[in-house]
Amino acid sequence: MEEDGDVNGGGENRREISKEGSIHGFESVHRLLEASLRPEIYQEVSRLLVGLNCGRPLERISLPNITENLSLSHDFDLQAFCFHAEKEAMRPPRIVRVGLIQNSISLPTSAPFPDQKKAIMQKVKLMIDAAGASSVNILCLQEAWMMPFAFCTREKRWCEFAEPIDGESTRFLQELARKYNMVIVSPILERDVNHGETLWNTAIIIGNHGNIIGKHRKNHIPRVGDFNESTYYMEGNTGHPVFETAYGKIAVNICYGRHHPLNWMAFGLNGAEIVFNPSATVGELSEPMWPIEARNAAIANSYFVGSINRIGTEVFPNPFTSGDGKPQHADFGHFYGSSYFSAPDASCTPSLSRCRDGLLISDMDLNLCRQIKDKWGFRMTARYEMYAETISQYMQPNFTPQVIVDPSLQKPKV
Amino acid sequence: MEEDGDVNGGGENRREISKEGSIHGFESVHRLLEASLRPEIYQEVSRLLVGLNCGRPLERISLPNITENLSLSHDFDLQAFCFHAEKEAMRPPRIVRVGLIQNSISLPTSAPFPDQKKAIMQKVKLMIDAAGASSVNILCLQEAWMMPFAFCTREKRWCEFAEPIDGESTRFLQELARKYNMVIVSPILERDVNHGETLWNTAIIIGNHGNIIGKHRKNHIPRVGDFNESTYYMEGNTGHPVFETAYGKIAVNICYGRHHPLNWMAFGLNGAEIVFNPSATVGELSEPMWPIEARNAAIANSYFVGSINRIGTEVFPNPFTSGDGKPQHADFGHFYGSSYFSAPDASCTPSLSRCRDGLLISDMDLNLCRQIKDKWGFRMTARYEMYAETISQYMQPNFTPQVIVDPSLQKPKV
């Protein structure tokens, strides 16, 4: 999670738009443009804004009725697409179906903690059932999905939501993973009981047989705006693991790590084909970044990215200040959802709703990753040896930047 | 320069749109949206697509009549904006006016080479005069601006366009730099006579007194699609220099280097406040990347970026093939222009025309760079030591990726 320090700035305006989304038909920029533009103009704008996949606009796919009906009866957004790759002569396609879930919390943050967690699990279960009914192979939930994103309050009582790797929420998901033969990525607040109750921001990878494959801990921790996540947990110690699942090699870049191209890079160097970015972010400043960073990572590293952001405004019992001189307030702003997939060929899906829970599904032929590597050759032209040296030098306390000064600036003044 | 190997794929269609741009009013996505959407919808779409600067939509600025008149009489696109920063208590604003020029060639590629070069210089001089009349402080031209981008032909005779650092085009620009008290970045095909006539793809930095401050050679060379720039020149040997000019610290990431986040990073580590990306790129695949990569670099490295792409379709005397099984052809596709600025706060300008020459001017308060560093803290949360180690390990021939395999995949098959 991260924050832009501008919660009270444009927040009111944005929330009004969210509430009255239907005025503009404004669940997402793509849907707004589709509703507002002539079809031939929308097609050209879309080509430039979301790219083409194998020379064509991204294909929508249909889902079973049971999934559609769950979406309608429980009012969550549902979108489904397909990323193609070229046919190869030497290997068959490797098509996997991947899902992302974004959601708001279910009960007020003043409710008893066990009830809050249970209510979120009930809500998320419905969307997992919807994903399962559509035979999703790999599913990722949002950052710290089993609790309100309370880190803005700086109150330590929210630490009670933390769980060990094999805790309540994991057991809950293990059962669903087995039931649906599905890999599930579960980002939680972790309590490491074997290391003196240390807290971490962690993603657990649950295999399609319900087994725990492993975990990854958030590498980069924000210290931005009115709050500081390092109040609760520190930089992760798990490196950049790639998890080889039954359906492909996946990794998890948790939230603020998306601002760090080196973090994206390292998952790529370890061979990731899909990198998930479960996030929790609000505000005027980060929303324009949101469609940029994950797409750039997919392009630069020749893998797919699944970006997830939570939904809604979470109001806390005790007001807090934001270090910006503005009055105290009890909420952290609007989590704008907008989950989406990016592909290595620079195409991407439209995003899910800015104001509703949602399930985004996409088929993706993982062969596209190597095809793009062969075509563009970014790995072979990267000159890593130069950058290992550059970074090593930069880390030295006496580092001198490579600066060439205009000599006319250095002339002694007469 | 780089290419997507899809010249004949969507090329015809695209060229038709370019030629008949006025049918859709389609000089750029932004102008297309502005003309097609209701103002309140355009404002919201714009907030999400190009961001806000200091909480407001990016401000347009007016230019002197002489600049406007040159744009009208010589039919080049002219756009001008202003990036603000917050007021600081400890230092005054540092506002510089920066310009980007995009242009097509002037004569057919079959004309005598000296005439071709002279004609380009005449055309570009008019736009430099327009920039000078508007008191632009730092101006950047496009990649290999003094020649057609003939590297797709694989014919070596185009090497004749190469010049030493202090050659004809440099002397031409030195005079204009002096006249207008302007720093000019001049990307050319360089002939290094002191090293056995070696060729380089090089940007020369000319100081505002007409002095040559230094040079930078393109770090990453494409080997993509129907041609291979390493036919002509190899990876640069100048590191990642930052040039401290009278108006700020600038650097140049030439063309294909924009696909390499490490290249962008290294200019940032050396202290760049503005990084130019002079490019020459065509095609269906790279156009959707174009608005992503530079903006991501500006965000990730807390500096401004000026992106430039040339204009038009350059037809060569001898047809060539593209290694894609399609018939030989005499052009490389449409260079789509679309030059634009990106800022560290995730805002960006609308882009210049996709089909006309253009001059883009923007004021920018360089104080914004440090303000964004203080706010987001990307440098301090980057964990460079971890990545220096990761890259060093990756370079080893016996590198083993950090992969955690689902144990159920490893069970012996019964």
- Separation of alpha carbons A99 and A86, rounded Å: 22
Write out the two tokens for A298. 């997919």
Portion of chain B with pLDDT greater than 90, in percent: 85
In angstroms and rounded to an integer, the radius of gyration of the C-alpha atoms of chain A is 22
Mean pLDDT of B289-317: 97
Query: Are β-strands A274-279 and A59-60 bridged in parallel, bridged antiparallel, or unpaired?
Result: unpaired
> If contacts are CB pairs under 8 Å, which of residues 356-395 in chain A contact chain B?
375-378, 380-388, 390-392, 394-395
The complex's ipTM works out to 0.93
Residue A254 φ/ψ region, left for φ over 0, alpha for ψ in the -120 to 50 degree band, beta for the rest: beta
Which residues of B are known to be catalytic? 143, 218, 255
| pLDDT of A171 strictly over 60 | yes
Q: Which amino acid is at B19?
A: K
Q: Is A110 exposed, middle or buried (0-12, 13-18, 19+ CB in 10 A)?
A: exposed
Hey, what's the torsion of the CAs at B206, B207, B211, B213, to 10 degrees? Answer: -70
> If contacts are CB pairs under 8 Å, which of residues 35-54 in chain B contact chain A?
36-38, 40-41, 44-45, 47-52
Helix/strand number for chain B, H first, E second: 12, 18
Query: Are β-strands B212-217 and B198-206 bridged in parallel, bridged antiparallel, or unpaired?
Result: antiparallel
Confidence of residue B326 (pLDDT cuts 50, 70, 90): confident
> pLDDT, tens digit, for every residue of A94-123?
999 999 999 999 999 999 999 999 999 999
CB-CB neighbours of B325 under 10 Å: 6
| pLDDT of B24 strictly over 80 | no
Q: Which of A20-34, B89-103, B134-148, B362-376 has the lowest mean pLDDT?
A: A20-34
Higher pLDDT, A205 or A2: A205
Chain B nearest-CA distance from A35, in A, is 10
By Cβ distance, the residue of A207, A300, A405 closest to B261 is A300
Helix (H) or strand (E) holding A289: helix A283-301
Write out the two tokens for B83. 């990036």
Put simply, whether A405 touches B (Cβ < 8 Å) is yes
Instruction: Domains for chain B: give ranges and CATH numbers.
Output: 11-394 (3.60.110.10)
Mean pLDDT of A28-33: 91
By Cβ distance, the residue of A55, A377, A407 closest to B223 is A377
The CA-atom distances, in angstroms, between B364 and each of B270, B289, B307 are 20, 24, 15
List the beta bridge partners of residue A98. Answer: A138, A362
Put simply, whether B300 touches A (Cβ < 8 Å) is yes
| pLDDT of B13 strictly over 50 | no
For chain A, the average pLDDT equals 92
Please choose, from the candidates A344, A329, A325, the residue with its C-alpha nearest in 3D space to the C-alpha of residue A84: A344
Question: Which residue out of A211, A406, A409 would a mutagenesis test of the B interface target, given it has the greatest number of B Cβ atoms within 10 Å?
Answer: A406
| pLDDT of B8 strictly over 50 | no
CB B115 within 8 A of CB B281: no
Angle among Cα B108, B114, B116 to the nearest 5 degrees reads: 25
By Cβ distance, the residue of B41, B242, B300 closest to A402 is B242
Say what the pLDDT of residue B226 is: 63
| pLDDT of A260 strictly over 80 | yes
Helix (H) or strand (E) holding B260: none
Q: What's CA B63's distance to the chain center, in Å?
A: 23
- Separation of alpha carbons A244 and A79, rounded Å: 27
Please choose, from the candidates A348, A232, A333, A217, the residue with its C-alpha nearest in 3D space to the C-alpha of residue A290: A348
Say what the pLDDT of residue A412 is: 63
Longest Cα separation, chain A:
83
Q: Do A376 and B224 count as a contact with CB atoms less than 8 A apart?
A: yes
Put simply, whether B212 touches A (Cβ < 8 Å) is no
Backbone angles phi and psi of B116, in degrees to 5: -60, -45
CB A383 within 8 A of CB B221: no
Mean pLDDT: which of A42-46, A257-261, B17-21 is highest? A257-261
Neighboring chain B residues of A404 at a CB cutoff of 8 Å: 205, 213-214, 241-244
Reduce the DSSP state of residue A352 to 3 states and report it: coil
DSSP H helices in A134-249? 168-180
The terminus-to-terminus CA distance of chain B in angstroms comes to 54
| pLDDT of A17 strictly over 50 | no
Neighboring chain A residues of B230 at a CB cutoff of 8 Å: none
CB B268 within 8 A of CB B305: no
- Separation of alpha carbons A350 and A339, rounded Å: 9
Put simply, whether A242 touches B (Cβ < 8 Å) is yes
Mean pLDDT of B343-365: 97
Reduce the DSSP state of residue A78 to 3 states and report it: strand
